[in-house]
Structure 1
Amino acid sequence: MAARFKTKFGIDFSQPQLILTALKHRSYLNVTNEPRIFSNERLEFLGDAVTNLVVTEFLYRKFPKKTEGQLSKVKSILVSKPVMAEIAAGMSLGEMLLINWGEEKTGGRQRISLLGDAFEAVVGAIYLDQGMETARRFIERYLLKDYQKILKRGLYKNYKSILLEYAQSTSKQPPEYRVVEESGPDHAKQFTVEVWVNGQKLGQGTGRSKKLAEQQAARQAIEKLGISPGDQLEK
């Protein structure tokens, strides 16, 4: 695994076990009969902190005139699981994951949670083996290089938060979300939610959970209102 990682990413681990652990999902422990501490979860915990620090410092230096609130919003996008999962997929980390047959059958190598966690775990492993500067370069190369594209696409934002901010700035009243339909069996429910602002229906969304449906409704609302979710750093 360490040799494969070196060939692909140019990082030569002095402690090869670290990168092996970083790519070992807890499901694989059923194969190896190891305790849970031998999965990548501890390295993910460390890598999460390292990634947050690097991204925070990057934004702090890059945008000296932005407020703490603006920087926090952008950071939350860049360090979100969907973003890191997309980066990990582009790096083909999914192909390197150690998972059991059950995860393999259910598409674990493409799952957002597994890919996002793997990216953070790899960062944690690099930090322990190579130090902060190598970890920083890795994050900058793969996560921060195209940060502007990530922000402008607006694919990973919390649309409910954006709509809430708009509503509070215009009327002081928060948006109201109404579940108007539930369909499907218990194991595969579909929810339809409407969002109302100032007594006006602005959007409707459908999803496998109320939260997902609310996000879709909020997204439709901000599009209707002409709010650009990629504006955090442009204003």
Structure 2
Amino acid sequence: MINSDRTKQLKKLETFLGIKFKNIALLSQALTHSSYYYENNLEDICHNERMEFLGDAVLKILITNYLYDTYPDKNEGELSKLQAMLISDSLLAKKARDIELSKYMLFGLNEHKNGGADVSSNLSDALEALLAACYLDQGLNAAKKVLHDLYRSIFDKTENIDYLIDYKSKLQEYTQNLGIELPEYTVIDESGPGHDKLYTISATIIPDTGAISLIGTGKSKKIAEQNAAREVFNQLELF
């Protein structure tokens, strides 16, 4: 049974999500980590691992349907790449952090002490389980509403999801697969005051077809390197 304090806590999340559960136990289960379940030897409350499995499927069908309807001119490969970004653990964890989902989650003491409330996999799993709970309680449209609210900035194209791609790592993998030297990054320019620097950095690779060197800019060297690697990637039409 769910006690009154837990129910009161979950009611706040219901209000935030804009959905009233018929069976609030489903919502509680979606936010119960396995460590809490096993540590407390629970019998009447289960953890969220099975719901995560279902939620993964719910997420995929909703995202796939959205992409199919929204981008009629994109081919299968392009749609698959967008899908991979939109269902990625990194994006799910970010969205879970945006709504402070960990505040409503139950963890075992050791998991909590070890920072489990901010582990990306725990957060992404819980968000998938949350979608499953919505689906089980009220059907696919309820899960769709919650997902679209969470992804609104992306679906409205006001949030760039390009940051989810680690272009530096992908470019390094590309050069390793070709058996050529790893990418070289060179600072071309630094401008602006110390608190507001703008870096210009080049990324260079030397495949058999000849050297490719393109530049990227950013507020930090890391961002500038990522942007430079992205430019090389785009020229090679690798993504």
TM-score (norm 1): 0.70
Q: Residue 95 in 1 paired to residue 106 in 2?
A: no
Q: Residue 222 in 1 paired to residue 225 in 2?
A: no
Instruction: Report the CA distance between 1:28 and its aligned residue.
Output: 0.6
- 2:72 maps to which of 56, 64, 72: 64
Instruction: Report the CA distance between 1:164 and its aligned residue.
Output: 8.9
Letter in 1 for 2:163: L
Q: Where in structure 2 are the equivalents of 1:83-232 lying within 5 Å?
A: 83-147=91-155, 148-150=157-159, 152-157=160-165, 159=167, 163=171, 174=178, 197-198=206-207, 219=226, 222-223=229-230, 225=232, 227=234
Instruction: Report the CA distance between 1:8 and its aligned residue.
Output: 2.5
Q: Conserved in 1, the CA contact under 8 Å of 2:52 and 2:126? A: yes
What do residues 187-235 of structure 1 show as CA deviations (whole Å, max 9, x unaligned)? xxxxxxxx96516698xxxxxxxxxxxxx9x95772462739xx97xxx
Letter in 2 for 1:198: P
- 1:7 maps to which of 9, 15, 19: 15
Aligned residues: 194
Q: How far, CA to CA, are the matches of 1:63 and 1:73 in structure 2?
A: 13
Structure 1 residues 175, 15: CA separation in 2 closer, same or farther (over 3 Å shift)? farther
Greater CA deviation, 59-68 or 4-13? 4-13
Q: Which structure has the larger Rg?
A: 2
Structure 1 residues 224, 66: CA separation in 2 closer, same or farther (over 3 Å shift)? closer
Unaligned runs of 5+ in 1: 168-172, 179-194, 203-215
Letter in 2 for 1:157: I
- Three-state SS of the structure 2 residue aligned to 1:12 is coil
Q: Residue 30 in 1 paired to residue 38 in 2?
A: yes
Aligned match of 1:43:
51
Q: How far, CA to CA, are the matches of 1:224 and 1:63 in structure 2?
A: 24
- 1:21 maps to which of 13, 24, 29: 29
Q: Residue 55 in 1 paired to residue 60 in 2?
A: no
Superposed CA RMSD? 3.5
Aligned-pair identity (%): 32
Q: Conserved in 2, the CA contact under 8 Å of 1:6 and 1:12? A: yes
- Three-state SS of the structure 1 residue aligned to 2:164 is coil
